[in-house]
Amino acid sequence: MTQLRNDIPARTPLDRFFRVGERGSTLGREVRGGITTFVAMSYIVLLNPLILGASADITGARLSIEQVTTATALAAGVMTVLMGLVGNAPLALAAGLGVNGVVAFQMAPTMTWAQAFGLVVLEGLCIVAMAVSGVRERIINAVPAPLKIAITVGIGLYIAFVGLVSAGFVTRTPDAAHSTVPVRMGVDGHLVGWPIVVFAVGLLLMIVLMSRGVPGAVLISIGTATLMAVAVNAAFPVEGWGLVEPTVPDSVVAAPDFSLFGQVDLFGGFASAGAISATVFLFTLVLSGFFDAMGTITSVSDEAGLTKDGKVEGMGRILLVDGAGAIAGGVTGSSPNTVFLESAAGVGEGARTGLASVVTGVMLTATLLFTPLAAVVPAQAAAPALVVIGGLMMAQVRRIPWHEPDYTIPVFLTAALIPFTYSITNGIGAGLISYVLIKVCKGQWREIGWIMTSIAGLFVLYFGVEAITALLR
């Protein structure tokens, strides 16, 4: 008679739904992985409000810290839970760094916030449509890999530059100075004041903690620098903090501010910024969104053992949720949400299923009640995260084939013009146009295809919009 084995634990409904045992994990590992991912990425709840709040729209309106904190936590929490339930993958979503810079510093000054978030919703709809139709893969295959990498590198430089500027480490030289140097270090070429000290301490601490592999290094550094800023601000009369002055809040818990929810104008941006500029903004969001997501999804899924024969298990569902994340980012007012590379931290702790994402999402949602804490964090405490994350993105430069002449200049223009012109759109456009031009002049236009040719043509219109407008007058 065959005896029943007592050493095999009974499968619970939770185990069966998420296929925990089937993927070689345990409920304990999934919970630990979910918590680890939350700790690794929760800085975005503090950082995103500072980025979006640092810019004003065309009317001069600014978003409050409380508004954006609520929007950031809500979208990240809901979409991460959805990724767990629908995609069954250990992938967390939140407002994407880089694309939120596009919304804040490129789009908002040319339109209202509602119109900018309307374009974000349209981005999500485009990504969902492309994921369903298969067009997404065709466009991805059309753009050469070196240019995709250059976009990531350029965005990394851009993010780091934004961090240095917001901290006051780098400032603009006034035009009245008639200087040939457009930017300088600190004030008059010198680093002065406690805010700079707070930034330097936070940056060095973050570098040390990350080099030692400390979980939650970014969050720990932001928290430490914030406490230092609060103490310094209470002990001395300090100026130069910027938009957020670090003071102890009246309360730690407060009701979320949902005033941004649903404040969306889908097509108004085309009238405010102009049809061509708005179209290019939309293209930039879509391009950055799905390229970044594809790279993150593939790398994290491969690390989790969810890739077979080069294909990610459940990729269709994952891409749909990722596209829905962009829509949610626009509806809530938090900027496009996308898969976070910090999900790899949870995978490193053993996460293999969507249960980990559910845990992460629930914890992100819980931060809705702690919005007053976000109003304490000055730019100098959060800016180190931009510099460090920018550096990590910059590391992709090692994958660029600099020895191939067809790519050298296009890649350089893409990566360099993004930070130098403070515009991701300009960098992508210059890189694609120069690449297409090189191929056409070499008689290799058949290699680039109609998709790349059309995209390059769109960017030519973008760069020449002022001349075209003048001719039409």
Q: Extract the tokens encoding 69.
A: 């904190």
Q: Extract the tokens encoding 347.
A: 């995978």
Residues 322-373: pLDDT tens digits? 999 999 999 999 999 999 877 877 887 788 999 999 999 999 999 888 877 7
Mean pLDDT of 435-464: 87
| HEC-encoded secondary structure of 65-132 | HHHHHHHHHHHHHHHHHHHHHHHCCCCCEEECCCHHHHHHHHHHHHCCHHHHHHHHHHHHHHHHHHHH
Do residues 267 and 53 lie in contact, with contact meaning Cβ atoms separated by under 8 Å? Answer: no
Mean pLDDT of 204-221: 86
Higher pLDDT, 261 or 216: 261
User: What size, in residues, is the chain?
Assistant: 473
Phi (first) and psi of residue 339, to 5 degrees: -65, 135
**Between the CA of residue 304 and those of 16, 73, 213, 354, what are the distances in Å?**
18, 26, 19, 11
Residues 31-46: pLDDT tens digits? 888 887 887 787 788 8
Mean pLDDT of 237-247: 80
β-pairing, 337-339 with 93-95? antiparallel
User: Does pLDDT of 206 surpass 60?
Assistant: yes
Q: What is the mean pLDDT of the chain?
A: 85
The pLDDT score that the predictor gives to residue 9 is 53
Do residues 80 and 324 lie in contact, with contact meaning Cβ atoms separated by under 8 Å? Answer: no
